[in-house]
Structure 1
């Protein structure tokens, strides 16, 4: 009897050890690749705006302040629980809210405040155009400090290789991201599909990707078709602010080295 008891004890001990070993050898599942999606140039056409607002998931809407429907779209976006962004015009963009290198800081501040009045509930902003303006370090440094005081984030659209906007945001620890993929510089359906596929590939490679698109018919058709399919492909569409938290303000390899943006002083 003692021998049988000892054997049973030994047997169950081996089973328990084997189970523990199996648990220890099981690797945790890989986290899904993640994308954040921003649609720019909104507020101009209600029909297009409504299609963007109806896209599934946490798509951010970037609204140009001097468009006829900016205020109403910002209110509708906020009511729908989606992220409102100010799409701030910057040189070479023009208009009453546009930033230009020759303007004083006081005038830039006035234009920013007026633009935010036109786009209520803005959680953050990105630049509309801006290839000349985002290379102006004093203005970008002032903007990032102002956004930090207002508890807003910044997305560098990266319309120029000489941009210092993301570098200035990183320097002071402002919540920020840089665009990885433009979906529709070429608005043809084939080119947009190719860019979307490139964005998914990049997300799998580096863990995440920031995509920016526009309310072109071909762009909206692709997104309406493909966004519901993302989860089955191991891709998660997440809110812009969640991706900011996940990246921790680090630059991706295409934008810097060792997590630090190029053009950093």
Structure 2
């Protein structure tokens, strides 16, 4: 048996057997959260300089790195040098619009659970230091209970957390997670769906409002957006003075 086949078989044993014996991930404690900002920067790994503009901002953030891209390894190396930042896998998944290409290592609607495990292993090896995962695209796959059960069980077996980027209105992720007793979070805001400076600043202000009202906000921006980097860079000191705190996403799962 070659090495690749061995690891695929081992992964399937984990998912179909041992995983059911693992204790559920502990839910968040009941203690209050106040003005906490969890910023996630998607699409890292394509252009190194894009990620650096966020590494230069001295607040905790989570960087979601695409697997198997030309700068994936170097981006992970630089993030690992910054104690304020952490790495998660930006897992490609098929969108409802099949004309969109999710990229290398993607889980498609036609992917079997066995194939999904092999892809996740391959992608995890491509993103060294990853502590969690969120979906890249995925409006089709995150509505598939079989595939998402496979993904969530995989994350639990590997000690990874999962963030639902909530690209699908009818995402099945929360219901699957509840059935599996796995703690997941969903994003509250996308900052840069429109590539417009004023739009991004309005969305940033709205996300701050969510954190004020809810106690925390999970906020997604993108590495390619200079406007998103500028909005955070121009406001973080003022926000900190107003009592807001920045956190790595993993802290939300402790």
TM over 0.5: yes
Q: For 1:210-243, what per-residue CA distance to the aligned partner results, in whole angstroms no more than 9, with x for missing partners?
A: 0000121111111111122211122111121222
CA distance in 2, matches of 1:180, 1:243: 13
Q: 1:35 is matched with which residue?
A: 37
Q: 1:165 is matched with which residue?
A: 173
Q: Please say if 1:184 is aligned against 2:192.
A: yes
What residue ranges of structure 2 are gaps of 5+ in the alignment?
1-31, 96-100
The secondary structure found in structure 1 opposite 2:64 is strand
Q: Please say if 1:87 is aligned against 2:93.
A: no
CA contact (8 A) 2:57 2:233 kept: yes
Residue 31 to residue 67, structure 1, CA distance change in 2 (3 Å): closer
1:91 Cα shift? 0.2
Q: 2:105 is matched with which residue?
A: 97
* Length, aligned pairs only: 216
Shift >4 Å, 4+ stretches: none
The secondary structure found in structure 2 opposite 1:230 is helix
Structure with bigger RCO (C-alpha 8 Å, 6+ apart):
2
1:96 Cα shift? 3.1
Q: For 1:11-57, what per-residue CA distance to the aligned partner results, in whole angstroms no more than 9, with x for missing partners?
A: xxxxxxxxxxxxxxxxxxx9641110000001111111111222221
The secondary structure found in structure 1 opposite 2:130 is coil
1:191 Cα shift? 0.5
CA contact (8 A) 2:91 2:135 kept: yes
CA contact (8 A) 1:202 1:209 kept: yes
TM-score normalised by L of structure 2: 0.81
Q: 1:20 is matched with which residue?
A: none
CA distance in 2, matches of 1:31, 1:141: 29
Q: 2:21 is matched with which residue?
A: none
- Coordinate RMSD, CA, aligned: 1.5
CA contact (8 A) 1:152 1:175 kept: no
CA contact (8 A) 1:36 1:237 kept: yes
1:171 Cα shift? 2.9
CA distance in 1, matches of 2:74, 2:181: 32
CA distance in 2, matches of 1:148, 1:34: 25
| Bigger Rg, structure 1 or 2 | 1
- Listed as ranges, the matches of 1:1-265 within 5 Å are 32-81=34-83, 82-92=85-95, 93-215=101-223, 216-245=225-254
CA distance in 1, matches of 2:208, 2:244: 8
CA distance in 1, matches of 2:115, 2:142: 16
TM-score normalised by L of structure 1: 0.78
CA distance in 2, matches of 1:114, 1:58: 28
